[in-house]
Amino acid sequence: MTQHLTDHPSDPQALADAVTQAMWTRDRSSQGLGMQILSVKPGYAKMAMLVRADMVNGHHICHGGFMFILADSAFAYACNSYNQNTVASSCHIDFLAPVREGEALEAEAVERSLSGRTGVYDITVRTRSGKTMALFRGKSYRIKGEVIAGLQQADVAA
């Protein structure tokens, strides 16, 4: 069932839930990597991913790009949770420890600042046991449009 612009929830958590569902239906990259959404709240998201055999590099550790995309995905859900189309304007990651095949990672994105069209988010990538493996900082920029409205436009075009 497609939500219409007039159907936007007024409760911030209900809106974040609706936006998460709308984004997830179109997020083939996160789905294809086996990511799971653990939690999304306004300005916050937590996602998980199991490191598969096809994600390890020649050193038999998780390729940094996969850790980056997990953090970037959590960043995307956190900064879009207000139903304002938002993209990354810059990102930086520090890899702190190697991740092995079979380890489950969680990326937790926390909004640190939101002013006008820009925001700053810190994302911590941890193992399920809580060991910090990477620190990611993303800067966001709000562009024209809404996430849920974008889903409606896609439905009309189909």
pLDDT tens-digit series, residues 4-37: 444 567 799 999 999 999 999 999 999 999 999 9
For residue 124, give the H/E element and its range.
strand 118-127
Q: Could you tell me the pTM of the whole model?
A: 0.89
Q: Contact at 8 Å (CB) between 81 and 20?
A: yes
At 14, list the tokens: 């209900």
What CATH superfamily classification does 8-157 receive?
Hotdog Thioesterase (3.10.129.10)
Q: 105-134 pLDDT, tens per residue? A: 999 999 999 999 999 999 999 999 999 999
